[in-house]
Amino acid sequence: MRMARRKISNTLALAVLGLLREQPMHPYEMASTLRERHKDSSFKVNSGSLYDTVESLARHGWIEAVETARDGRRPERTVYATTELGRREFVGWIDELLRVPVAEYPKFMAAVSYLGALGPDRAAEALAERAGHLARRIEETNAVLEGTVGAGQVPRLFMIEVECAVHAWEAELAWTRRTIDEIRDGSLFWPVVERTGQGWTWSAPTDPATSTAPTDASTPADEHRAPADPGTPTDPQENPR
């Protein structure tokens, strides 16, 4: 299935459309509701980006202004509701995103691809610190789930994305801890890299436990990495993670 090219691609628009399916709201109420429901862990919510998204949705006819209200001395607030077009686009977009994995280029993957630049000791130390952050995040988020879904305050379906995020963090934590162990026991070693007349070559160090990252400042960072298997695609579009 091919991904449709949409006029609006910012996923914060999904959050806005989802809220307006419930009832008309003004942007300030949208932001407050998203934070109260812990949706700010799934969407980047700030006033500037939210107002820009609302304006874009209105400009493309996915939502429309239905009322302008004033509360005391506060500035007027425009209340929005979804249109028929917006409701169709919302459902179609959700269906598409669930069906088709897309390359998202996470920053952590970018850093992991150059793990060798740190050397074994610093790499293990950096990953250990990340593991601590992940463990705390998982613990804190599970406490939120227990106090909401577990306490019967909201149905599980209403916070299913938080549950999904916890599973992803647990998988990342397991990989991170395993990689730390492999660095420390030498099974993940830093190869000895040399330039020859035929190009760059690498070999296993005599003592993997004491191997270090290459220090030749004239060597391009990308060439410090072990050569890829010629049969393995390296383009993220060809080999999605």
Given a cut of 70, whether residue 1 has pLDDT beyond it is no
The answer to whether the CB of 93 falls within 8 A of the CB of 10 is: no
User: Of 96, 144, 122, 87, which Cα lies nearest the Cα of 213?
Assistant: 122
For 12-99, give the CATH class: mainly alpha
Given a cut of 60, whether residue 185 has pLDDT beyond it is yes
- Chain-wide mean pLDDT for the chain? 84
CA dist 27 and 49 (Å) reads 11
CA dist 195 and 192 (Å) reads 10
Q: What is the pLDDT of residue 6?
A: 73
3-state helix, strand, coil in the chain (%, to 5): 55, 10, 35
Q: For 104-115, what is the mean pLDDT? A: 94
Q: What is the pLDDT of residue 175?
A: 98
Longest CA–CA separation in the chain, Å: 79
Q: What is the pTM of this model?
A: 0.74
Q: What is the pLDDT of residue 123?
A: 97
The answer to whether the CB of 7 falls within 8 A of the CB of 92 is: no
Q: What is the pLDDT of residue 120?
A: 96
Given a cut of 70, whether residue 131 has pLDDT beyond it is yes
In DSSP terms, 155 is beta-bridged to: none
Could you give the count of Cα atoms lying within 13 Å of 147 in the half-sphere of its Cβ? 8
* Domain extent listing, the chain: 12-99, 104-241
* Model confidence band, residue 240 (pLDDT cutoffs 50, 70, 90): very low
CA 111 to chain centroid: 14
Strands 192-196 and 199-203: antiparallel
* Model confidence band, residue 3 (pLDDT cutoffs 50, 70, 90): low
Which residue type does 115 have?
L
Asked which of 26-35, 178-187, 225-234 is least confident by mean pLDDT, the reply is: 225-234
